[in-house]
Chains A and B, each alone.
Chain A
Amino acid sequence: MPIRRAPRLTEAEVTDEAVYLNRRAFLAAAAAGAATLALAGSQGSAGAGAVPSTRGPLPALRNPRWSTTEPTNRLDEATTYNNFYEFGVDKDDPARLGHLLHPRPWTVQVGGLVRKPARFDVDDLLKLAPLEERIYPLRCVEAWSMVIPWIGYPLSALLKRVEPLGSATFVAFTTLLDPEQFPAQKPQLLGFAGLDWPYAEGLRLDEALHPLTLLTFGMYGQVLPNQNGAPIRVVIPWKYGFKSAKSIVRITLMREQPKTAWNAAAPQEYGFYANVNPTVDHPRWSQATERRLGEFRRRKTAPFNGFADEVAALYTGMDLRRDY
């Protein structure tokens, strides 16, 4: 029945869109780039009326070294189909309720086992390293995927700034806890807690320092929309999407493996590592294939989401069936 229109966009269309967006990013960069950045920086702590910092173009040059060449999904696909449980369990909740989140002013506390702990304003973080565009496939643990052009820089740039101590082996990310902005965090929503708030995720330090791990501020040439984790999130493209924590307020380096939200909620279903792995099924469904949004047929899932060459070495000697 829906076959006639199901592949709503042909590959050509998708590519056009990507090219279009890219051109816009370039134009923006050429015309107003420096000015916008400076403006964003100065308005961060001022708060009110900081329009350019919460929406609008975010210029960045594409980094082909760390990008896939696959066609990107449409912006509206990436902004209307989200898992962001702070807004609700349904895919359209984040787009519907995203306006409740106020991404400015926003600070990120970076601490734990580091020599120079610091609290950063997000607008200062924007200027910490040159922004790049990275096109990554995002593979959800629910067996769907999309390709998104993210904007940010490697998380390692920030971590090196605070100088991790030798004893630090893990990095924990904490998402904002504020029931006023995240309605699903309100206490005892019908008695169904689901996840423990605040949302917590974590990486091994070597994973966090990998050049693919992106501290992300924007996508599609724009500042991150609220439903995609504004104003600052991480993107770890070789892991299932839930590892990529959104709306981060705290980054903590630690000795022990941090507790992570989905792992705590259902340890047999969601591992700490959560590397994309077609040979290790979720207990309730197969991970061998995925549905790329906009495509008609399922496609095979690639080990490490296609980044095996880059990251497989991080896991030598590990049994990825056990450490799923």
Chain B
Amino acid sequence: MTRRGRTVLKAWVWIGCLSPLLALLYRYWTNDLTANPVSFLTNTLGDWTLRLLLTSLALTPLRIMFGIGWQMPLRRLVGLFAFFYASLHFAVWLVIDQFFDWHAMLADILKRPFVTAGMCALTLLLPLAVTSTAGMVKRLGARAWTRLHRLVYVIGILGVVHFIWLAKVGRVTPYSYAGILALLLGIRAVDMLRRLVRRRWNSPSHLNGDRRMRTSMREWARGLVVLAGSAFLVGGCAHSMTADEKMMDKGMMSDDGGMAKDAGMSTDKEMMQDKGTMQDQGTEKK
């Protein structure tokens, strides 16, 4: 991609990532933040944090699955916007909702598992945001930097768990987010294992002595952990959803994760059609 193309692309990402905030500001000016503005702001900002986090996690799987690479330089920008919305989400809770009631907030962090998960996710995002500059990559060294930034997988899981734990009975969206996350992590895990297998059988690495072997073992273990984590997430979703697995496909395919809400309005017939097309897409991809 040309330099000019990259600039244009980044400009569009800026516009896209800022538009939810602009929409909120517009609703504020037009006095349209619902009857409970605090709750609406918190929920909307949290929602966009997760959407952007999942988007940033979706860029690598795009390369793995389809071999396209132009989106890779956008990971940092989208990730930073996720951090930006997470900070706003936290700021609304801190300033407007709790109004610096440190005592109540600390009690919530310690006592409410969903607050604990959310706080952990935000705390872990902090070092990633701080080390996001090119200078920091150099200072830390690429290996250490990459290892540190694998924290984003943990953050993704914490974020989705935060949403699942706070949501009320009958709400679908958190589980569709969990499904998307499981898919994105699962693709990575499968890819990692596949590469390991290929390297192991195609290269004479086993002749190179102990050190290589140990590394390889560690990578295997890492791959297995990611895979187990994904399986756990998927299993958890399936368990929570009792009956219908197609819903997860639906969630995974959705662009913005907000489909669940739209689907809530549609009639049964439309839903059936929806499911049909979703399945078709699924088979095409395979």
Contact = CB atoms under 8 A, between A and B. Distances in A.
Interface string A167-206: 0000000000000000110111111111100000000000
B172 A5 contact: no
A191 B99 contact: no
B279 interface: no
A2 B247 contact: no
A91 B36 CA distance: 10
A123 to B, nearest CB: 31
Max chain A CB contacts within 10 Å: which of B96, B107, B245, B246?
Answer: B96
A197 to B, nearest CB: 11
A144 B170 contact: no
Contact of B107 (A265, A286, A297): A286
A71 to B, nearest CB: 15
B71 interface: no
Given A89-B168, A298-B97, A191 B35 contact: no
Interface in B191-206: none
Contacts of A184: 264
A283 B153 CA distance: 28
A3 B36 CA distance: 13
Given A184-B264, A192-B241, A265-B169, A286 B35 contact: no
B36 A266 contact: no
A120 to B, nearest CB: 31
Nearest to B98: A298
A91 B112 contact: no
Nearest to A90: B261
B250 interface: yes
B169 A2 contact: no
B241 A89 contact: no
Interface in B85-121: 96-99, 101, 104, 107-108, 111-114
Interface string B157-173: 00000000110111110
A33 to B, nearest CB: 31
B36 A284 contact: no
Contacts of A91: 34-36
Interface in B222-274: 241-247, 250, 260-261, 263-265, 267-268, 271
Nearest to A285: B112
B254 to A, nearest CB: 12
Given A195-B170, A285-B112, A293 B35 contact: yes
A194 B240 CA distance: 11
A133 interface: no
A88 B265 CA distance: 8
Interface in A249-276: 262, 265-266
* Interface class of chain B by DSSP: helix
Given A190-B260, A193-B242, A284-B166, A76 B35 contact: yes
B14 to A, nearest CB: 20
B244 A190 contact: yes
Contacts of A186: 267-268
A284 B164 CA distance: 12
A199 B246 CA distance: 27
B36 A93 contact: no
A8 B38 CA distance: 12
Interface in B110-153: 111-114
B99 A284 contact: no
A191 B261 contact: no
A192 B170 contact: yes
A191 B31 contact: no
Contact of A190 (B33, B35, B99, B250): B250
Given A1-B25, A73-B35, A89-B168, 4 more contacts: A144-B39, A146-B35, A183-B265, A190-B247
Interface of B: 25, 28, 31, 33-39, 41, 96-99, 101, 104, 107-108, 111-114, 165-166, 168-172, 241-247, 250, 260-261, 263-265, 267-268, 271
Closest 3 CB pairs of A and B: A194-B170, A191-B244, A81-B35
Interface of A: 1-3, 5-6, 8, 73, 76-77, 80-81, 85, 88-93, 96-97, 144, 146, 183-184, 186-195, 262, 265-266, 281, 284-286, 288-289, 291, 293-294, 296-298
27 contacts: A1-B25, A3-B96, A5-B31, A6-B38, A77-B35, A81-B36, A88-B264, A88-B265, A92-B34, A96-B265, A183-B267, A189-B264, A190-B244, A190-B260, A191-B243, A192-B241, A193-B170, A193-B242, A194-B170, A194-B171, A281-B111, A284-B165, A285-B112, A286-B108, A291-B39, A291-B97, A298-B97
